[in-house]
A and B are shown apart, each in its own frame.
Chain A
Amino acid sequence: MPMRNMLRPFTIRTSTITLACALLGALVLGGAAARAPEPVKLRLQLNWVPEPEFGGMYAAQQDGLYAKAGIEVELIKGAAGTPAPQMAASGQVEFAIASGDQLLSLNEKGGDLVAVFSVFQQSPMGVMVKADSKFNSIEDLWKSDSTVAMEAGLPYLKFLNRKYPGSKVKIVPTGTGLAAFERGAVQGQQCFISAEPVQMELKKVPVRVFSLAVSGYDPYVELVVTKRSWLEAHRAEAAKFVNALREGWIRYQAEPAKYNPGIAKLNPAMSLEAMDMAARKQHDMVMLPGSAPADVGTMTAERWKTLSTHLVELGSIKEAPKSPDAVFWNAPK
């Protein structure tokens, strides 16, 4: 066989491979040029099951606001006892839900968290009693020898005990849900004004709700928090996330019924009717009457200062942060 013929198969194979490589290279380069940059992945650890209290977060997801901002957000469902703030402080998630007192006490123990969004502009925490009870105020309840279901260690429990000294109220855990309250084993029940009273209303158990904010203790209750080191390294992404959250909340406030079916799918235990009622009840605590949509989610140094002062007085933290500005960040809009 002539030498040329012997080399031919090799020549053909070489040219085929070269051509294939060229095509592949073109495809890869072309594809990369056409593809949008990978969205930044963020996780938000909730501290409770999907409910209207997280309505804006889910509305932003349903309307694709996160994707539009170039971020991919995973909303991780919580449950009773989910250590959400600790997960953010230990860097297991980028964002988590925490209350103001949790943030300040964690920071005192090395947590270094910063609040970037406050769902509520007025605390939704309260205490409910049955409407046919003799209690017409939180003071009446606290000056009785009733049994109240309330989480031990809550600063506002200390606040109430301090405000009404010598109280004989017996405090028991909230682990039984509302069963004990319903059958009268406890006379008072810690509640989110927009949650437990709604459940009672749907069960045709009339209740009276006393707001803790009105009684003088109005902390930031549902904050989105992140680790300071993460925030400093990812301010742009954090701002995109916060602005998407704000827009989500504005949309949810305007039309909760549009978004609640999606939330109800994630939490079949809560009826759509209950979600709609909860959304209505929380409306004015998310957006204070007369406030601008741009105020949604924002925080003030003054309110942080008041909370810090309260917590120091109650012995929940040793000292207030040197600068209240250091514990929160209002993202540029």
Chain B
Amino acid sequence: MIRRAFHAAFPPVAVVVALLAAWQAAVWAFAPSEFLVPSPMAVARALRDGSGQLLAAARLTGLSAAAGFALAAGIGIVLGSVLSASRFLMRGLYPIATLLQMVPLVAIAPLLVVWCGYGARTSIASAVIVSLFPVLAATLDGMRSTDPGLVELFQVNRATRLQRWWKLELPWAIPSIVTGLRIAAGLAVIGTIVGEFVGAFAGEDAPVGILITSALRENRTDMVFAAVFVASAVGFALFGVVSLLGWVLLRRWHASAR
């Protein structure tokens, strides 16, 4: 078990350590100005010195991202299921849903503030907009790829539409949905931070987006990197939860979770 965990963890840890070492060596060798590129050690110091503020920011951003992600997951799975049930609806709505991933979020983010007001609502709305499409598309693809033989079997046994969805199409689509959710998890954090750039409250308890803009204004690139690191950690955490959920759902019967 330990050996397996070591084998799984070693390659990414080794790559990260090598990249950090190369980054530090480059900073020592070329000595760029601090405002251009901070050293990993400076970023580590910023993480240590600003840990209280960064943790509070991670909590706020994490909550908004999780809420946005959960909403996107719910809406995406329901909408994907509805579209898969009706060819007419799919032809009508799917192209419009596709537009969601083309939305230049930065351009409409100020409008989200006007519509949703300041605070977490804007960040959550922003997270939903960017993370909805991967879930919807994955759900739709997963359900549409259900084995026709099994669909026929359900029909022969006079299963209702709801029974067929619950007992056949949804389980069949789970591996695909989990993939969509994994993509959406990272996007939800990005969407949240874009929302925070325009609509979050500043102050002692500010989320990651505000910390980044504030540090940029003050030329504290070490703090910018530290905040980006925290945002990535939030994204990883969300990704981890989804992966765990996928493993729990799939481990008994699907090759991808074994």
Minimum CB–CB distance for B194 against chain A, Å: 10
Contact (Cβ within 8 A) A110 B34: yes
State whether A89 and B35 are in contact (beta carbons under 8 Å apart), knowing that A172-B200, A179-B110, A180-B114 are contacts in the complex. yes
| B 128-185 contacts with A by CB, 8 A | none
Q: Which of B61-69, B77-85, B216-224 forms part of the interface with chain A?
A: B216-224
| B 6-41 contacts with A by CB, 8 A | 32-36
Interface residues on A, range: 20 to 34
State whether A171 and B202 are in contact (beta carbons under 8 Å apart), knowing that A105-B219, A154-B217 are contacts in the complex. yes
Query: How far is it, in angstroms, between the C-alpha of A316 and the C-alpha of B220 when the chains are bound?
Result: 10
Does A19 sit within 8 A of B, measured CB to CB? no
Contacts of A147 in B (CB 8 A): 118
Contacts of A186 in B (CB 8 A): 118
A86 touches which one: B35, B199, B218 (CB < 8 A)? Answer: B35
A153 touches which one: B118, B199, B217 (CB < 8 A)? Answer: B217
Contact (Cβ within 8 A) B34 A173: no
B118 touches which one: A111, A151, A185 (CB < 8 A)? Answer: A185
Contacts of B34 in A (CB 8 A): 109-110
Contacts of B218 in A (CB 8 A): 105, 153, 316
Contact (Cβ within 8 A) B33 A89: yes
Does A170 sit within 8 A of B, measured CB to CB? yes
Give the number of chain B interface residues (Cβ < 8 Å).
28
Minimum CB–CB distance for B61 against chain A, Å: 15
Query: How far is it, in angstroms, between the C-alpha of A183 and the C-alpha of B118 when the chains are bound?
Result: 13
State whether A152 and B213 are in contact (beta carbons under 8 Å apart), knowing that A171-B203, A175-B109 are contacts in the complex. yes
Contacts of A185 in B (CB 8 A): 113-114, 117-118
Count: A-B pairs, CB below 8 Å: 86
Contact (Cβ within 8 A) A152 B110: no
Contact (Cβ within 8 A) B35 A109: yes
Query: How far is it, in angstroms, between the C-alpha of A183 and the C-alpha of B117 when the chains are bound?
Result: 11
When C-beta atoms are compared, the residue in chain B nearest to A173 turns out to be: B198
Residue of A154, A157, A173 with highest tally of chain B CB at under 10 A: A173
Interface string of B196-233 (1 = CB under 8 A from A): 01111111001000100111111101000000000000
B213 touches which one: A90, A105, A106, A153 (CB < 8 A)? Answer: A153
B210 touches which one: A90, A108, A173 (CB < 8 A)? Answer: A173
Contact (Cβ within 8 A) A176 B217: no
Interface string of A12-56 (1 = CB under 8 A from B): 000000000000000000000000000000000000000000000
Contact (Cβ within 8 A) B197 A173: yes
Does A211 sit within 8 A of B, measured CB to CB? no
Contacts of B221 in A (CB 8 A): 109
Contacts of B35 in A (CB 8 A): 86, 89, 106, 109-111
Knowing that A86-B219, A172-B201, A173-B213 are A-B contacts, what are 19 other residue pairs whose CB atoms are under 8 Å apart, sorted by A's residue number?
A: A89-B33, A90-B33, A108-B219, A109-B34, A109-B219, A110-B32, A110-B35, A150-B202, A153-B216, A170-B203, A171-B203, A172-B200, A173-B197, A173-B199, A173-B200, A175-B109, A176-B110, A176-B199, A185-B114
Contacts A/B (CB < 8 Å), 21 sampled? A86-B35, A109-B221, A110-B34, A151-B213, A151-B217, A152-B202, A152-B206, A152-B213, A152-B217, A170-B203, A171-B202, A172-B200, A173-B200, A173-B210, A175-B110, A176-B114, A176-B199, A179-B114, A185-B114, A185-B117, A185-B118
Chain A interface residues toward B at CB < 8 A: 86, 89-90, 102, 105-106, 108-111, 147, 150-154, 157, 170-173, 175-177, 179-180, 183, 185-186, 316
